[in-house]
């Protein structure tokens, strides 16, 4: 979070099942309602949170964490994970596949309407076998169109997707 903003509640750590995705959306909405009066704006914040959490679940690794903060004029939501899934690497000694960094793992948090997600050990990526590739890739477009500003900061050990809306 930025130094000029005050946290609205403690950081949410999402480590359980699909219900935690719904819980995260509800808690972010409740926290945002402390500074946002417009129900339509709260709907947008909830939708952007769902998209950001889905991105972390599908493309990241580790625990998904959510922070909400405000400076009284703006609301900022950050969704972070422990970095991008890594590709499996062959060990030249015995040919066994090993992980370069953190391997992918089954997601702990899924959007309410999510289809099954599995982990592909050969690529180190999560994938949804029942979904067509055209079903993906709209989350950032949604966030871009509904937020005042947003960003994606990624290192090998952390990914942070954040968005800001006026209160």
Q: Is residue 148 within 8 Å of residue 44, measured between CB atoms?
A: no
127, part of any domain: no
Q: Residue for token digits 């509640």?
A: 9
Q: Is residue 14 part of a domain?
A: yes
26 part of a folded domain: yes
Number of compact structural domains in the chain: 1
What is the spatial distance between Cα 37 and Cα 40, in angstroms, rounded to a whole number? 9
Residue 16 confidence (pLDDT) above 70: no
φ and ψ of 131, to 5 deg = -110, 140
Is 61 inside any structural domain? yes
- The answer to whether position 149 is within a domain reads yes
Q: Which residue has the higher pLDDT, 124 or 50?
A: 50
At 101-146, the pLDDT tens digits run 434 444 444 444 444 444 444 444 444 445 545 455 678 999 999 9
Could you read off the pLDDT of 89-111 as tens digits, one per residue? 434 444 443 333 434 444 444 44
Phi, psi of 139 (to 5 degrees): -60, -45
Report if residue 53 sits inside a domain.
yes
Which CATH number does the domain housing residue 67 bear?
Answer: 3.30.565.10
CA dihedral 18, 15, 12, 46 (to 10 degrees): -20
Full residue range of the structural domain in which residue 143 is found: 6-83+108-115+132-166
Residue 121 falls inside a structural domain: no
């Amino acid at each position: 979070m930025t130094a000029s903003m005050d946290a609205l509640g403690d950081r949410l750590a999402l480590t359980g099942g699909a219900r935690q995705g719904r819980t995260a959306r509800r808690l972010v909405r409740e926290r945002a309602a402390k500074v946002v009066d417009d129900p339509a704006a709260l709907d947008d914040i909830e939708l952007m949170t769902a998209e950001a959490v889905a991105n972390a679940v599908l493309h990241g690794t580790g625990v998904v964490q959510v922070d909400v903060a405000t400076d009284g004029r703006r609301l900022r939501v950050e969704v972070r994970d422990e970095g991008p899934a890594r590709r499996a690497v062959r060990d030249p000694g015995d040919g066994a596949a090993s992980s370069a960094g953190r391997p992918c793992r089954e997601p702990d948090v899924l959007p309410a309407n999510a289809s099954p997600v599995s982990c592909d050990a050969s690529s180190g990526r999560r994938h949804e076998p029942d979904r067509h590739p055209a079903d993906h890739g709209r989350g950032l477009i949604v966030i871009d169109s509904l937020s005042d500003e947003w960003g994606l900061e990624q290192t090998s050990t952390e990914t942070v997707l954040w968005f800001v809306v006026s209160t």
